[in-house]
């Protein structure tokens, strides 16, 4: 019976996402294998993938850096790939991103230009401008839109971060379709220099809030471990990071109760 119900959930989910793709936009506001391993608790992280997760974190990026990520869907047509580059300057860090969702008959693309900086040792802010393109094969054609996102980070005391981020605060639309408005807020604390605990909530208008909690543990100098849990629906996650000579490689997995595991992978390099 359980196997039958699980298969039914999978079939319905795939049917909705393939037959009716135009009814939602699969905007990638979380990126990186570390983020996935921590159940997408990302708004208070200050690593390279702040270029997607919270642009205020760019203020803490001190090296010219580049990276790529891949998030697997439940089927290959739902895969998401993305790339990014961050360039520190005297006034802040400039970044560019590109990500792709879908397949030949239906795909969504997003290109972004971001800037983030610290204003004091206690406060940072960032902003990102996004160009969106959606393509459906046949008579449906394509649509374009422009939107933006903003984020802030505060470090009121050592090892404690508080962050907030909003995607599409302008309520921009793509044709007749609404682009999601996504609010995120969270807090993190670094214990003993090795264990980071992050707690976050995510909310879309007219949708129930999602609550997330994630842990990042530095096992040894070259290896870190991640784990997390999120609600609505309940998902569990875990992952591992490998760090060597400027490279940061992460593999993360999220387990949906009905649909199973989906893996993610990212690699970034600081020059």
What tens digit of pLDDT does each residue of 224-266 get? 999 999 999 899 999 999 999 999 999 999 988 777 889 999 9
Q: Band the pLDDT of 94: cuts 50, 70, 90.
A: very high
- Domain enclosing residue 43, as ranges: 2-270
Tokens of 44: 């208070």
**CATH code where residue 12 lies:** 2.40.160.60
Q: Band the pLDDT of 23: cuts 50, 70, 90.
A: very low
Task: Examine the pLDDT at 81 and tell me if it is beyond 60.
Answer: yes
Task: Examine the pLDDT at 26 and tell me if it is beyond 80.
Answer: no
Task: Examine the pLDDT at 55 and tell me if it is beyond 50.
Answer: yes
What lies within 8 Å, CB to CB, of 176 at 6+ separation is none
Task: Examine the pLDDT at 65 and tell me if it is beyond 90.
Answer: yes
DSSP-H helix ranges across the chain: 2-19, 33-37, 50-53
pLDDT value of residue 178 = 87
Domain count, the chain: 1
What tens digit of pLDDT does each residue of 134-184 get? 988 877 788 999 999 999 999 999 999 999 999 999 999 988 888 999 999
Q: What is the pLDDT averaged over residues 12-19?
A: 42
Task: Examine the pLDDT at 11 and tell me if it is beyond 90.
Answer: no
pLDDT value of residue 28 = 61
| Least confident stretch, 21-25, 71-75, 254-258, 266-270 | 21-25
Tell me the CA distances in angstroms from 182 to 25, 83, 148, 159, one per residue in order.
12, 21, 11, 26
Mean pLDDT of the chain: 89
Distance CA 55, CA 31 (A): 12
Tell me the CA distances in angstroms from 223 to 46, 203, 241, one per residue in order.
18, 32, 6
pLDDT value of residue 174 = 87
Distance CA 8, CA 13 (A): 9
| Residue from 164, 166, 97 nearest 131 by CA | 97
């Amino acid at each position: 019976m359980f196997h039958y119900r699980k298969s039914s959930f999978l079939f319905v989910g795939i049917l909705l996402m393939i037959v009716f793709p135009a009814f939602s936009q699969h905007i990638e506001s979380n990126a990186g294998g570390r983020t996935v391993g921590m159940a997408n608790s990302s708004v208070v992280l200050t690593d390279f993938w702040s270029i997607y997760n919270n642009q205020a974190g760019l203020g803490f990026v001190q090296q010219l850096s580049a990276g790529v990520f891949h998030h697997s869907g439940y089927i290959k047509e739902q895969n998401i790939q993305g790339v990014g580059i961050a360039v520190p300057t005297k006034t802040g860090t400039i970044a560019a991103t590109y990500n792709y969702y879908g397949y030949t008959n239906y795909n969504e693309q997003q290109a972004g230009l971001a800037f983030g900086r610290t204003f004091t040792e206690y406060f940072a802010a960032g902003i990102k401008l996004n160009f969106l393109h959606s393509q459906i094969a046949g008579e449906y054609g394509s649509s374009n839109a422009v939107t933006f996102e903003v984020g802030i980070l505060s470090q009121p005391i050592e090892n404690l971060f508080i962050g907030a981020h909003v995607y599409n605060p302008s309520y921009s639309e793509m044709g007749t379709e609404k682009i999601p408005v996504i609010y995120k807020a969270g807090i993190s604390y670094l214990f003993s220099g090795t264990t980071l605990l992050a707690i976050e909530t995510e909310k879309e208008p007219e949708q129930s809030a999602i609550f997330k909690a994630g842990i990042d543990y530095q096992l040894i100098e070259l290896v870190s471990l991640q784990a997390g849990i999120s609600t609505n629906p309940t998902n569990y996650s875990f992952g591992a990071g490998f760090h060597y000579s400027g490279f940061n490689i992460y593999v993360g997995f999220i387990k949906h109760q009905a649909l199973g595991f989906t893996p993610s992978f990212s690699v970034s390099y600081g020059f």
